[in-house]
Structure 1
Amino acid sequence: MTEATSQPAAEEPQQAPSPRPKKRDVHGWVVLDKPLGMTSTHAVAVVKRAFCAKKAGHAGTLDPLASGLLPIALGEATKTVPFVMDGRKAYEFTVAWGSQTDTDDTEGKVVATSEQRPDETAIAALLPRFTGTIQQVPPKFSAIKIAGERAYDLARDGEEVTLQARPVEITALRIVRHDGPTTTFEAECGKGTYVRAIARDLGLALGCLGHVAHLRRTRVGPFSIADAATVEALRDGDNATQALLPVSAALALIPEIVVHRDAALRLKRGQSVLLRGRDAPLEAEAVYAVSGGVLIATGSIAQGEFVPHRVFNL
C-alpha cells in the first residue's frame, strides 16, 4: 500500500514592481503654497516627484509652522536662486500677547508671562520704531552659525546662545486686525529679517510680551502668492505642467538685455561682449541676456561690456 502524498498548491506568479519613472531634465520655477506642517525639504521632494525632475532646490526655508509661498527651482533655474533669495519678502503674521517663548513662536516653551494686553493705539504708535533700517537680534532658534554650529542646534542642546544685533530693513509694518489677545500684521522686509524677532521685540517694548502664533509668507522677490500652486494641484499631472514658470521668471526685477546670435555664443563660452546701440547701458550690477527669446546668461555691465557670471543650457 503506497502512502498518499499531497501536491503543493501552485504559487501565484509575483508581479514585478512598477519601474520608477525616469528622471528628466526640467527647467523652471514652481511657486508652491506650502501647507502647515510640511518642511521645506519635503516640499522640494513633492515638486521634484511631480515633475520627475533630476535637480531641484528652494529659495529660502519656510518653517513647518509657517505656510505660504515657497519658490522651488528646477534644473537650470537653480542658477537664479540668489536673485530670489535676495529679494524682498512679505508676510502676514499674528502675534499672541501675554507670553514669550524660547523659540518666539508656538513651538517653544513659555519662558515668561504677563497679564497686560496692549490696545491698538499703543501698538500703532510703536510701529515706526520697527520700520526702516533697524538693529535686530535674531531668535536663538535660528539657522545662524556660531563657531560653525547652527544656533538652533546649540539651543536644543541646552547651551546658552548669544547672538549679536545686526541691521535689517523693514519697509512696511501695519496692523491688519486687533482683537485684544492677538494682533495680525502685514510686514514687508529685506533679506535676513526674522518675523519672530519682530513679535518678540514688539511684546517687550509694549511690556506685555508676545510670540508668533500664525505666519504666512505672501511674497518672495518677484513671486507672489497669486502665482502659487497647491500640493494637491501638483499631484494632478495637467495642473503640475501649468504650474511651471520659466527660468527667467526669477529675473523679472532686473533689466533684460537682448543680444544677437554671435554675442550669445560668446556669452555661452563665458566671454564678455561689448553692447552696441544708443540705448545700451554702460553700467549695471545685475542684468540678464536673452537671444531669440531664450535666456543666455546673467551678469553685470561695466563700461558698456556685458560680463557673464552664470550661463544657461536651455
Structure 2
Amino acid sequence: MLKEIHDKLIALTEEESQILNGEASVNKSLYTDEWNFVIDSNKLLPAGELIDIRKHTRFVNFPSHKHNYIEFNYVYQGKLIQIIDNKEIILQKGELIFLNQYITHEIKASNEDDIIINFIIRPEFFDYIITLLDNENIISKFLLTTLYTDYEEGEYLYFKVSERENIQDLIEKIIIELYEPSIMSKATIKLLVGLLIVELIKNSQDIEIYSVDNYEKMLIIQSLKYIDEYYDTATLSEIAENLKQPDYKLSKLIKKHTGMTFKELLQERKLSKAVELIKSTNYSIVDLIGIIGYENPTYFYKIFKEKFGMTPREYKLKLCDNIDIQSEN
C-alpha cells in the first residue's frame, strides 16, 4: 500500500478526535434517526449512490445494532472483534466478513493500530451482479435469501482469506481508488467489488457460514441433549449458563423451535424415563419417583395419570397382564 494512503488510513477522523477528547459513546445521530439503533444507509451514502466505503471509527464500542444495508468489514491491519449472538468473532488482518441487513451485532472498540474498512452497500447494488452468478454457490445463496425472499434471519459469511494474494490485491486496488479518486473511481470501485465477489466464490473453502436460524437450532439440540442426560436435576438456568445464553432468551427459543416450554420438555423426558424404569426394573413407585427427580409424589401421580390415563401402579399391572397373555400365547 502506498505510504500516503496508509497515512490517511491511520489519521484521525473528526469523529475519532471527538471520542479521544471525551465523547464516551457513539453519537447515534450520525448513523440513524431511529431509537433502536438501526444504522441507516441514507446517513452514510450520498443520495443516489449504491455503494460507499469508509474507515470504521476506532476507540469506541459500537453497541448492539442492525443496519438497513449489506455490510462488508475488511481488516486492513490489526484485528476486529464482533459479538454476534453472544459469540465473539475475532477477524485478523486480511480477513473479511459479509453481514446481511438482518444481523444484530456489536463491535468492540478498535485500537489506534486497528484499521477496518467498511463497505456499505445498498441491496440494489447486487441486482445485476446476482444475474452473473451461479445460483448454487454460497455467496449467491446468501444474496438471494437476503434480497429476494421473505427469509429475515441474520446471516454472515466470514472469509478467512488473508493468504489469498489475488483477493488482497483487489481490496488494495479498491482502497487506492477510494483515497486517490479519479473521474472513473466510482465505476472502477463497483467493477472491483464485482471481481472481489467472483474471487471469493472461487475460494469458498475459506468461508465460515453462520445463520441465526442454524445457530438457534444448535442451541436447541444442545438443550435437548442436556434434558435427555440430566433430566433428574435439569434446570433452565443451568443449561442457559452452560450455553452462555440469558434464561429468557433460551426459553423463547425452545418454545419457538419445539412448541413446548422447557418445563414441558423436561416433564416429557421424566415421564418417558419413568415408563422405561417401570418396564425394565423392579423399583417401587416411590423409588422411581426419586430417581427421575420428583420430590412430590402427589404431583407425579397427577401428571402421570394426565399423560397415560392411569396411575403408575395401574400401568405396571397392565404391563404385567400383557406380558402374561403374551407368554400364554
TM-score, length of structure 1 as denominator length: 0.21
Larger radius of gyration: 2
Q: Which has the higher contact order (CA 8 A, sep 6+)?
A: 1
- Which structure shows the higher helix fraction? 2
- Which structure shows the higher strand fraction? 1
